Structures are given as structure tokens and as C-alpha cells.
Amino acid sequence: MNIFGLIKDVANNKSKNLAYSYNGNKTNYEDLISSCENLAQILLENKIEKGDKIAILLGNSPEFIQTYLAILKLGAIVIPLNPAFTESEIKYILNDSSTKLVIATSEQKEKLKNLINDCTTLLNILLIDEIQSLQKIKNKIEEIEIQQDDTAVILYTSGTTGNPKGAMLSHVNLIENANDFSKLIELRENDQMVAVLPMFHSFCLTLCVNMILLNGASTIIIPKFNPTELVEVIKKEKATLIAAVPTIYNYLHQLKTATSNDFSCLRACISGGASIPIELLQSIQEKYNLLIVEGYGLSETAPVLTFNPYRGICKPGSVGLDLPSVETKIFNENGEEVPTGEVGEVVATGPNVMSGYLNNIEATEKAFINGWFKTGDLGKKDEDGYLFLLDRKKDVIITNGYNVYPREIEERLYEHPCIIEAAVVGKPDQLIGESVCAYLVVSNDSVSEAEIIDFCRKSLVYYKVPKQICFIKELPKNSTGKILKRLLK
């Protein structure tokens, strides 16, 4: 069981099915496999063997999908990187992973020119533009035996507490998670999934690439997020599914010109990457007559752990129930499960959980407790098994001895009619340990700090009320739209 082999089986049975569309151009499964096999031949000519690591710096494009699958066909390992990374960020990952080959766009050429000398294992840098101009090769590639437990992808984490770590995900990790999710969302062959999140990120890679192609459905590739253009593509292509983060849904909510008719083709909107504020969730669903189902996961879990039912009870504020093959629990600091309703760290086990961090035994050992993966997120479960996230353990604010969860305050702030975005962090305070600080993006410049504080006092106990309000034009975010609280701190 390996990813390319399964997708090729799909192509053999559904060769004329649409695999993806990009800027109006459509590609079926037969042509996708042909492109992948041509690329795989070129990789062989560059001395790529099973187990070699290949980094790809490609934005959302057909070339990303083709390259990804070509690498997997050879039993090599894909390291998807953010094209916006700096030279030093790329250099660290290439050296840490002993990468043998980089595939990038011509726009990256200048940034990458010194890497051959600085990275000891790097043999070559291939520009996808030049590869595409090569004549198609008709030589048949000898089948390579790939085991389901072989590493397929290494995803480097964001490195919020030091250098990024490479989470090793096997073929079975990715396949099981994609299949689990496809059952929950009741994926159909005629489904068209909008891929607007970066494909190098686990959320998009699993839901918009692996899940779609393993099931003979199709992906609508969006090269870059623009709210107005996204609405037009959804309407024109008659998209049925979209996977996005709360920031994207917030941008769509702010549009003045969009109506429910623009989204009438969508049967479900999947939200992940961060918790979506309840106020925003309910408001956008009502405004556009949408079904938004929220889930939760991490790069290390390929990534989905929990998901609100597509059919059944969706609990606002919850990230849903465990996937069929996944089990999550809430542990205390001693590694013991806590009673229902109590707060602790979310831990998980299942066939989607990574084997460990590349070249980092210490970090791998710290990431597990008695066989359970420690997510670093604080949460609680209700009597029905629904998971409610509070915050990252490191983001909890301790003020005057009280634990304050930023998400609870952010939920209240989003209820204010003038607040578009909110992020709450703790700031060092010599008297009380940490003080609560709120960073806000507002729609009306006349809103004052005093007004916001008074608004919070109506629904929050005194020690949770922000001591400081900072108005800014935009919250810092990463490539997927996740708010970077470490920068605010």
C-alpha cells in the first residue's frame, strides 16, 4: 500500500475522470499519471534512489502535484517547503534532512544559487520550468517495492520553540488519514475540492491532494488567496467542498459584494488550522447559508485527529469527535487521564501518528508518553466525547496565580460588532506574573480602549479582562493564515 500505487490504480479505472483544474485548464487522471512517470524518469537520471530526500519549493500548481507523486513513485521522500522561506531557513532544513535534490521554480533561482556549496549532500537543483521543456520519455520505469511503513513525507514544523523539526510521515499515515476523512465527509467522485491553502502544508496536502486523488475526485487549484477571486472560482467551477482556515472564512465574511447564491454549490466547508470563533462561525453560516464543519489536527498526525460530524450534531466551539481510527484522551501532567469536563493536554494514538522527528531522538521521546502522542494543546471533552480546545500549553496566561485561556477572551471579543480579528497574549508583569493583552483589528477607528475593556467586564471575571488593548491594522500570520502569537509577545 503506497500513495502513488493506489492513485495509479484509480487512474487505471477512471482514466478520464477530472483530476484537477488550474486557471481553467483541466487534467484527467490518465494525463496526470503520464506526467508523473515522465518526471520520475528525469529524477532517476539525477541519481535519485529509494529513500533519498527531495525538497520541493513549488506553490499551488499542477507541478506541485506531479512532482510530489513522481518522487513517491520512486520510493523517495518528499520534503515540501514554503517557497517564501529565506535562504538560511532552506539551508537549515536541507542540511538537517540530508536532502539530495531540490526542485523549485525559476523565481527561486537567485535565492538557491549558493546552496550547492553550503549543503554537503545536495547534488542538484532542478528548475521545474526547465524540466517541463524536456521531451517526454517513453522508457518504462522498473517498479520499486515500497512498504506502507516507508517514510513518504517529512513535514518541518514551524519551529516556535527553536529550530524546526522534521515530522516523518509514512505512506500508511497519510493514506489512513485521507481515507478516514473521506468517509466522514462522504466524498463523491463528482466532488470538486478547492485547494486554496498551501499544498506544502499538511492540511491541504491530505485533504486537497491525497484524499481527492485516492478517491477519483478532483481538485480546483488556487495559486494564491484573494477573497474576491476565490468567490468567483467557487461559483464558476461549481465547487462542492472547500478546506480553509478561520482567517480565510473571516475574509469571506467581510466581503460586501458576496451573497449566499455565490456559495450555493458548496455542500460543506471544512475549517481547521486554528479554532474558529463561535461568533464568526455562526455569522458566516447564517450570512451565506453554509455548513462549516470544524476539525483539529497537527502536522505530526497527518494531520486530522477530530472532526465535527457532516451528518449529526455539530457543537459550536468544539472540534468534534475522534476520527474512526483515531483515539484522543485528556491527560494531566502525570500522564493520567482526567475525568470528563476537566482540562488537560490532548494526547492521541492511531495509524496517522508520525514515527518520530528526523534525527532527533530526544524530541521524539519528549513527544510521546506511554505510546500516546502529546499535542501540546489544552482541551477538555464533554459527556458525548466532543473535544473542546482551550489553548496551546505555552499560550496559557498565568496572572495572579490564575490560569487564563486566551481563546475564552477572544471569543468574547469577537462578539463586539466592531472587532474583525482578535488575539490575546500574556505580557510579563513584575507584580502579577503576566498581564492580559489584546491585539485587535477593528472596523471603526473611533472604538476606544476603554470601550473594549468595559465590554469585556460585562462577561468576564476581573482577572480575565485585558489590561491593555492594542489596535493594529493586521495581525501577523503564517502562510496558512494562522495568527503568530509569538510575534505579538
pLDDT category at 433 given cuts 50, 70, 90 is confident
pLDDT of 469 above 60:
yes
What mean pLDDT comes out for the span 112-116? 93
What mean pLDDT comes out for the span 398-427? 93
Residue holding cell 523517495?
Answer: 76
pLDDT digit string, tens, across residues 130-140: 887 765 666 67
pLDDT of 479 above 90:
no
> Of 392, 413, 430, which residue sits at a domain end?
392
Q: Are residues 79 and 212 in the same domain?
A: no
CATH number for the domain including 126?
3.40.50.980
End-to-end distance of the chain based on CA atoms, in angstroms? 45
pLDDT category at 275 given cuts 50, 70, 90 is confident
Q: Are residues 383 and 400 in the same domain?
A: no
Q: Are residues 207 and 297 in the same domain?
A: yes
Rounded (5°) CA angle 173-372-349: 35
Q: Are residues 7 and 107 in the same domain?
A: yes
pLDDT category at 217 given cuts 50, 70, 90 is very high
CA dihedral 298, 299, 300, 301 (to 10 degrees): 60
The three cell numbers of residue 131 are: 524540466
**Alpha-carbon Rg for the chain in angstroms:** 23
Number of domains the chain contains: 3
Question: Strand pairing partners for 320?
Answer: 387
How far is 405 from 395, CA to CA, in rounded Å? 8
Q: Are residues 26 and 90 in the same domain?
A: yes
pLDDT of 159 above 70:
no
Q: Establish if 455 belongs to a structural domain.
A: yes
pLDDT of 161 above 60:
no
CA dihedral 269, 271, 277, 278 (to 10 degrees): 50
CATH number for the domain including 400?
3.30.300.30
pLDDT digit string, tens, across residues 67-101: 999 999 999 999 999 998 999 989 999 999 999 99
How far out from the chain centre does Cα 109 lie? 27
How far is 306 from 24, CA to CA, in rounded Å? 34
User: Containing domain of residue 14, as a range?
Assistant: 3-146
pLDDT category at 431 given cuts 50, 70, 90 is confident
pLDDT category at 1 given cuts 50, 70, 90 is confident
What mean pLDDT comes out for the span 371-382? 96
> Of 370, 392, 414, which residue sits at a domain end?
392
Q: Establish if 154 belongs to a structural domain.
A: no
Residue 221: per-residue pLDDT: 98
CB atoms within 10 A of CB 386: 20
Q: Which of 318, 330, 291, 322 has the alpha carbon at shortest distance from 304?
A: 322
Residue 432: per-residue pLDDT: 86
